[in-house]
Amino acid sequence: MKGEIKLRENRKKERLEIQLFKDDKEFVKNKATELGYKTVSAFLIDSAKTHFKLEVDMKVYRDLTKEINYIGKNINSLIRRIHTDGIYTDQDMDFLKVNQKKIIKIIQKEYDRL
């Protein structure tokens, strides 16, 4: 802490001017106070230091959606047939279990990737 204070003593403060609409200015001031900052400057510096941009590859989610929809269509076809025929077989139940496991595996794989 002493080293930090010493470094700050040797630095010269400079002024930064920005133009804001009145409501934006009040928003920034209120947000700084709300989050417990003593000054707007401290709030802006901390915000700049901790800000990050999250980029998400949506292609992965589109592909995931396609796979799950494909499996879901197969399940829906089976359910319609069971509803029409009024009966189902052990093979039908196995089909449902296998496809349910496929969906869970796909989702788990994506969850683990994150």
Of the pLDDT bands very low, low, confident and very high (cuts 50, 70, 90), residue 3 is low
The length of the chain is: 114
Handedness of CA 31, 36, 38, 43 (dihedral sign): negative
- Give residue 24's pLDDT: 96
- Give residue 60's pLDDT: 79
* Residue 29, SS3 per DSSP: helix
DSSP per residue over 46-86, as a string? HHHHH-------HHHHHHHHHHHHHHHHHHHHHHHHHHHHS
Asked if the model's pLDDT at residue 2 lies above 70, the reply is no
- The larger pLDDT score, comparing residue 113 to residue 7, is at 113
CA distance 10 to 20: 31
Tens digits of per-residue pLDDT, 16-35? Answer: 999 999 999 999 999 999 99
Tens digits of per-residue pLDDT, 38-90? Answer: 999 999 999 999 988 878 778 878 888 898 898 889 889 999 999 999 998 99
Contact (CB, 8 A) for 71 and 103:
yes
Asked if the model's pLDDT at residue 1 lies above 70, the reply is no
